[in-house]
Structure 1
Amino acid sequence: MTTVTLGALAAHFGRDVERGVSKAVGIVEAAARDGVQLLVFPDASIGGYIGDLRAPDPDELPPALDPDGPELAAVAAAAGDMTVCIGYTEAAGDVRYNTAVCLSGDGILGTHRKVHQPAGESLAYAAGDSFHAFDSPVGRIGMLIDYDKTFPESARTLALDGARIIAALSAWPASVTDRAARLPADRQSRLFDLYDCARAAENQVFVVSSNLTGVTGSLRFLGQAKVVGPGGDILSTTRSKGGLAKADVDVDAEIARARRVLNHLAELRPDTYHADESIGKG
């Protein structure tokens, strides 16, 4: 039996890059003392997220950073033997991406550029175009960035590529059109939890889901960081508060148990998954 400690963070990060890096390093060091082996930060932890989904202010966009720059290097140095996933705005020439990296003291292990873009996010970022799993000290991992997890195909692609753990990094706000007085009652609060649990249960994998807290511009973020097991059960959660959701799990044993009778990936029927063009025609 090999147990690993998974951690999902809910915290506020703003525009100040230097402060964000310092805060991230402090959190990594504290998590290491706590025995965390995989730590998943929110999307946009370094430099913050856009302040308006519908019409991002071009003068108030998060700073775009070089993936080989000192910011990620500082987090990697703090990580040491720990595996850390963290989000930032990536500068790729003249193009900006909403990006997640997975790193350790050995450097960057994997990168994901957000594929699915809600509302006006395309005005601030270019879109990524792929989903890939990669090997890490805690096993094979895949990453999603907030809206990506709305689409079952995203997590399924990672699971088919061998991911045993999906790190879902989010900057997920309360509803911008029908906001509830209390965050737990917000429509997006319900959907955020639903997607985390569904993606884990569909693919019989672990989902380590982080999220921002606090306010940026017109957006109020939900928190609700959590670790979800391969049966879709929430093992640990911060609810709407900041903090670290932790769970000690035997990844291989729990996935094997979940797939013992019903193995969703083995029982797929991709030959049947296509629309019938005759449906809906009179």
Structure 2
Amino acid sequence: MAPVIKVAVIQLYPKPMQIEHNFNKAANYIRSAATQGARLAVLPEYHLTNWLPKDPNFINLCEQWEHYLKEYQDLAKECKICIVPGTIVESHRGAEKEEDRLLNVAYFIDQNGEIIGKYVKKNLWGPEREHLISSGRDIHEVFDTPLGRVGMLICWDLAFPEAFRELIAQGAKVIITPTFWTLNDCSEAGLKLNPSAEATFLDSILTARAFENTCAIIFANAGGPPGRGYAGLSQVTVPFVGALTRLGSCAEGMSVVDVDMQILEDAEENYKIRSDLTRDDWHYDYRHSMTREKL
């Protein structure tokens, strides 16, 4: 039988530009998760700073990324727990007269404080493209972790099934997805039709991706004060069941849940998605035959 893994999904309100306050709050949740026996704790995207790239102090805070990454490494070693510290925006100084390069990065830190996985966000949401550098055509990597084969995606990557396929083709069973997804990401036209359109998007796509890839998805989103558009809905989702746990629409909190990895084996036995991917005559080769003009 496959193992049962206890994981903690943490939904935080990243207080804007209050990096030390946000780290200390996250650390308290992680320590609590460890005392409850969790082997992994996952935080949201942009959890240290919130997303305020036009604030004149934003880049200065991002320049502290190495310090806070080391703090999380020390915390993982202290608590003997694996941590995916949401995402940390890294500022890398360019050559003379060049602007800073900002990368939105997720790390997997093991229980000994070692970094065993790193992923730079590939699919940037429209407003991010003015500020962040994408990982572009770099492959989506899968990492061997104490929890098994793990892949990492970030926020808007959820909208691209190709990303999931690339990960599960390499054997990933768990996909960890730190996110900063708000209800306000919907257009005015969409909000007129459904003010909760983005919540519908999230719940639907997480369930679909879990089923169609026979994988578990650990989705940690930002929460926040009511009326400010925070979507929340952090959850751990698996095939057959859907969400094993699901936090509210905006409140902060944490859920520690057992993930029975046998569910994934049973789902694969039923749907045979991974089996099809390994066939020599598999008819999807991840190339789009249409030209850009047709798209």
State the TM-score, normalized to the length of structure 1. Answer: 0.86
What is the match of residue 214 of structure 1? 224
What is the match of residue 53 of structure 1? none
C-alpha distance in 2, partners of 1:159/1:5?
21
Look up the SS of the partner of 2:269 in the other structure: coil
| 1:79 maps onto 2:71 in alignment | no
**What amino acid is aligned across from residue 62 of structure 2 in structure 1?**
A
What is the match of residue 39 of structure 1? 41
What is the match of residue 90 of structure 2? 90
* Contact map agreement 1:83 1:138 (CA 8 A) in 2: no
Q: Against the structure 1 CA distance between its residues 244 and 180, is the aligned structure 2 distance closer, same or farther, given a 3 Å change threshold?
A: farther
C-alpha distance in 2, partners of 1:127/1:226?
26
Choose the corresponding residue for 1:123, options 130, 143, 162.
Answer: 130
C-alpha distance in 2, partners of 1:49/1:28?
22
Look up the SS of the partner of 2:157 in the other structure: helix
Look up the SS of the partner of 1:126 in the other structure: coil
**What amino acid is aligned across from residue 184 of structure 2 in structure 1?**
S
| 1:100 maps onto 2:106 in alignment | yes
Deviation digits for residues 208-255 of structure 1, max 9, x if unmatched? Answer: 00000126xx9632110000013361111112132123321232x221
* Contact map agreement 1:8 1:40 (CA 8 A) in 2: yes
Deviation digits for residues 115-144 of structure 1, max 9, x if unmatched? Answer: 111222111211113311101111111111
Q: Against the structure 1 CA distance between its residues 143 and 202, is the aligned structure 2 distance closer, same or farther, given a 3 Å change threshold?
A: same
Correspondences of 1:53-202 after superposition (within 5 Å):
57=54, 59=56, 61=58, 63-65=61-63, 69-80=66-77, 81-86=80-85, 87-93=87-93, 94-104=100-110, 105-129=112-136, 130=138, 131-176=140-185, 177-178=187-188, 186-202=196-212
Deviation digits for residues 142-162 of structure 1, max 9, x if unmatched? Answer: 111100111101111111121
Q: Number of aligned pairs? A: 269
C-alpha distance in 1, partners of 2:63/2:151?
22
Tell me the percent identity: 23
C-alpha distance in 1, partners of 2:62/2:178?
18
**What amino acid is aligned across from residue 10 of structure 1 in structure 2?**
Q
Look up the SS of the partner of 1:73 in the other structure: helix
5+ residue gaps, structure 1, are 51-55
5+ residue gaps, structure 2, are 94-99
* Contact map agreement 2:177 2:217 (CA 8 A) in 1: yes
Task: State the 1:180 CA deviation.
Answer: 5.5
| Greater per-residue strand proportion | 1
* Contact map agreement 1:175 1:186 (CA 8 A) in 2: no
Look up the SS of the partner of 1:175 in the other structure: helix
**What amino acid is aligned across from residue 108 of structure 2 in structure 1?**
C
Task: State the 1:58 CA deviation.
Answer: 5.5
| 1:8 maps onto 2:27 in alignment | no
Look up the SS of the partner of 1:110 in the other structure: strand
Deviation digits for residues 4-63 of structure 1, max 9, x if unmatched? Answer: 11221111113112112211211111110111111110001122223xxxxx52536463
What is the match of residue 275 of structure 2? 266
**What amino acid is aligned across from residue 256 of structure 2 in structure 1?**
K
Look up the SS of the partner of 1:260 in the other structure: helix
Choose the corresponding residue for 2:259, options 231, 249, 260.
Answer: 249
Task: State the 1:66 CA deviation.
Answer: 5.4
C-alpha distance in 1, partners of 2:27/2:283?
44
**What amino acid is aligned across from residue 12 of structure 1 in structure 2?**
Y
